[in-house]
A and B are shown apart, each in its own frame.
Chain A
Amino acid sequence: MSARRDRRRQAIPAAARVVPPSGFTARLTLFSAATMAFLAVFALAMSMATGRIADRWSDELARTATVRISAPAAQMAAQTAAVLAVLDATPGVASARALTADEMQVLLGPWFGPDLPLASLPLPQLVEVVEAPAGIDAEGLRLRLSAEAPGAVLDDHARWRRPLVEAAARLRLLAMVSLALITVTTAAMIVLAAQAALAANVQVIRVLRLVGARDQFIARAFVRRFTLRALVGAAAGVAAGLVALFVLPAASTADSLMADFGFSGAQWLAPLAIPLLAGLVAWGATRASALTMLRGIR
């Protein structure tokens, strides 16, 4: 017996060694934990990306529109008053208010610098419209605005995104269902692997019971292994998944799903939960299988 083998044996506690090493179930668990974790990284990224998109877009949708009035300086005040009157009488408008010169300065500052001579520029007047939850009838409003104030244009640019927000929310749901399915599948694979390992070791388990081992002791010997394998396998799967996300070509189109795919900021920590979850699933699945099987052995 080589010294190295002896040393390796010493490193594993005696209680863990009572179950012989089992090649195939070990590899099955490692492999399925790794693949499932790899898939889970993408499902998680998808869930978070779609969540972010849905949140951002629906905020924008939330209820603001803008009326832009381009008119000669002489008519500006009159048209603004007319627009406000129309908005006041429009159902679905919660409030409407013309932006002041100072607010325009703040809006434009980032683009033109703080010294912008606002008064001397032919800037359109902006009217901020806050919609009531029911929303407004954009077409009707447009018609009335064009009748009352020819220079007014209703800009409800965010409106076209509504179906996209819905799609994003649905994608998010899909991603979460995928995560749940991945978890359940992992549990099922580990249950199968654990049952195979238990069945292969019936004789060992019998001997252990006969020399006075408690169920907990025997279960622990299996649970320890499968938990460790699931942790290690899932960690490898997560690492591979993150590498794949990194090398994903970054799309430059703003707001496209692809540009948003992946994690942002602290979200990069979320995949670290996957190996822990895998370990937890393995722990529960193996423990349940072992204790069930042990009930059949006195």
Chain B
Amino acid sequence: MGRGRQGQGARVIELQSVAMNYGGGELFADVSLKLAPGSFQFLTGPSGAGKTTLLKLCYGELVPSAGQVQLFGQEVREMRRDDTARMRRRVGVVHQDCSFLDHLPLAENVALPLTVAGRAADAAELSELLAWVGLAPHAQALPPQLSGGERQRAALARAVIMAPDVILADEPTGNVDWEMSLRLLTLLVELNRMGKAVLIATHDLNLIRAAKSQVSARVLRFQNKRLQVAGADL
């Protein structure tokens, strides 16, 4: 068990010389990345470069073709299925497709990570969280009744309800207008100020520029199958 390795590794997601290959040639190789507490990073690159893939590696949905992925001190290949489940409770993910359980009202969807962990949601905390993302009036709405922006904010609320150490957001502003994008960004910056590691995959350079005025963010870019730190030349 990775429990023995406390300290730094216990709060960090770390990729070392990772390569990914879906079967038809290498998608990327030699990717190293560390999500330490309090860090704020953007992941960018053209569509199809592997941003979503890299995020999936960070919460154990995929196993790399080569290299090591350490999730809170545990090597992903050595994790049993229950380890994976427990690890995911420490990572808040805003998925690209914002998948919800369409038969459950929004409030229950947001509380779902608690439910599956066998814990009851505190009603007051839940309403506070919904109010924070501006969805209090929609608590009883079913997900299909929500707009794109509402779904994105609901996904963010669900991602943070377990007070995770790490937030991964895949195109969180993918189908919302600029105003809503800024609102979501502000929420993510707030979370980062609380000490959480934040990694946002986006191809929206305006969003990155807007973020840089609020927080010191590092920008990583996929280029020629490698991950590079982008300079000021966005």
- With beta carbons under 8 angstroms apart, the residue of B86, B88, B115, B117 that contacts A18 is B115
- Asked whether B104 lies within 8 Å of A212 as measured between CB atoms, the reply is no
Measured CB to CB, the closest approach of chain B to A11, in angstroms, equals 15
- Asked whether A211 lies within 8 Å of B113 as measured between CB atoms, the reply is yes
- Asked whether B104 lies within 8 Å of A214 as measured between CB atoms, the reply is no
- Asked whether A210 lies within 8 Å of B101 as measured between CB atoms, the reply is no
- With beta carbons under 8 angstroms apart, the residue of B99, B113, B115 that contacts A15 is B115
Say yes or no for A298: interface residue by CB 8 A criterion: yes
- Asked whether A298 lies within 8 Å of B60 as measured between CB atoms, the reply is yes
- With beta carbons under 8 angstroms apart, the residue of A14, A17, A204, A214 that contacts B85 is A214
Say yes or no for B93: interface residue by CB 8 A criterion: yes
If the complex has contacts A17-B104, A18-B101, A298-B61, are A210 and B88 also in contact, measured as CB distance less than 8 A? yes
- Asked whether B86 lies within 8 Å of A1 as measured between CB atoms, the reply is no
Measured CB to CB, the closest approach of chain A to B86, in angstroms, equals 7
- Asked whether B99 lies within 8 Å of A213 as measured between CB atoms, the reply is no
* Neighbouring B residues of A298 by C-beta, 8 Å: 60-62, 84
Task: Name the residue on B nearest A20 (C-beta).
Answer: B103
- Asked whether B93 lies within 8 Å of A207 as measured between CB atoms, the reply is no
- Asked whether B99 lies within 8 Å of A18 as measured between CB atoms, the reply is no
Q: Give the CA-CA distance A82 to B143 in the complex, in Å.
A: 100
Task: Name the residue on B nearest A1 (C-beta).
Answer: B140
Task: Name the residue on B nearest A291 (C-beta).
Answer: B81
- Asked whether B89 lies within 8 Å of A212 as measured between CB atoms, the reply is yes
Task: Name the residue on B nearest A294 (C-beta).
Answer: B81
If the complex has contacts A17-B108, A203-B99, are A211 and B158 also in contact, measured as CB distance less than 8 A? yes
Say yes or no for A206: interface residue by CB 8 A criterion: yes
* Neighbouring B residues of A203 by C-beta, 8 Å: 99
Say yes or no for A208: interface residue by CB 8 A criterion: yes
* Neighbouring B residues of A204 by C-beta, 8 Å: 101
* Neighbouring A residues of B82 by C-beta, 8 Å: 214-215
- Asked whether B112 lies within 8 Å of A214 as measured between CB atoms, the reply is no
Contact residue range for chain A? 20 to 34
Say yes or no for B100: interface residue by CB 8 A criterion: yes
Say yes or no for A24: interface residue by CB 8 A criterion: no
- From DSSP, what is the main secondary structure of chain B's interface residues? loop
Most chain A beta carbons < 10 A, residue from B85, B87, B95, B158: B85
Within 8 A of B (CB), among A203-233: 203-204, 206-215, 217
Measured CB to CB, the closest approach of chain B to A237, in angstroms, equals 30
Say yes or no for B116: interface residue by CB 8 A criterion: yes
Say yes or no for B162: interface residue by CB 8 A criterion: yes
Measured CB to CB, the closest approach of chain A to B167, in angstroms, equals 14
Task: Name the residue on A nearest B84 (C-beta).
Answer: A298
- With beta carbons under 8 angstroms apart, the residue of B81, B105, B112, B118 that contacts A211 is B112
Most chain A beta carbons < 10 A, residue from B82, B111, B116, B118: B116
* Neighbouring A residues of B113 by C-beta, 8 Å: 211-212
* Neighbouring A residues of B81 by C-beta, 8 Å: 214-215, 294
Q: Give the CA-CA distance A209 to B103 in the complex, in Å.
A: 17
- With beta carbons under 8 angstroms apart, the residue of A1, A20, A210 that contacts B61 is A210
Q: Give the CA-CA distance A17 to B162 in the complex, in Å.
A: 20
- Asked whether A207 lies within 8 Å of B101 as measured between CB atoms, the reply is yes
* Neighbouring A residues of B59 by C-beta, 8 Å: 210
- With beta carbons under 8 angstroms apart, the residue of A20, A212, A215 that contacts B88 is A212
- With beta carbons under 8 angstroms apart, the residue of B87, B101, B104, B116 that contacts A217 is B116
If the complex has contacts A208-B116, A211-B112, A213-B85, are A18 and B140 also in contact, measured as CB distance less than 8 A? no
* Neighbouring A residues of B101 by C-beta, 8 Å: 18, 20, 204, 207
* Neighbouring B residues of A207 by C-beta, 8 Å: 99-101, 112
* Neighbouring A residues of B62 by C-beta, 8 Å: 298
Measured CB to CB, the closest approach of chain A to B129, in angstroms, equals 15
Task: Name the residue on A nearest B115 (C-beta).
Answer: A14
Q: Give the CA-CA distance A206 to B111 in the complex, in Å.
A: 16
Measured CB to CB, the closest approach of chain B to A16, in angstroms, equals 10
Q: A17-B108, A210-B95, A298-B84 are in contact. List 14 more A-B contacts (CB 8 A).
A: A15-B116, A17-B104, A204-B101, A207-B100, A207-B101, A207-B112, A208-B116, A209-B88, A210-B59, A210-B61, A211-B116, A212-B162, A214-B81, A298-B62
Sample of 29 A–B contacts (CB below 8 Å): A1-B140, A14-B120, A15-B118, A17-B104, A18-B101, A18-B115, A20-B103, A21-B103, A207-B99, A207-B101, A207-B112, A208-B112, A210-B61, A210-B95, A211-B158, A212-B85, A212-B86, A212-B89, A212-B113, A212-B116, A212-B117, A214-B85, A214-B86, A215-B81, A215-B82, A217-B116, A217-B118, A294-B81, A298-B61
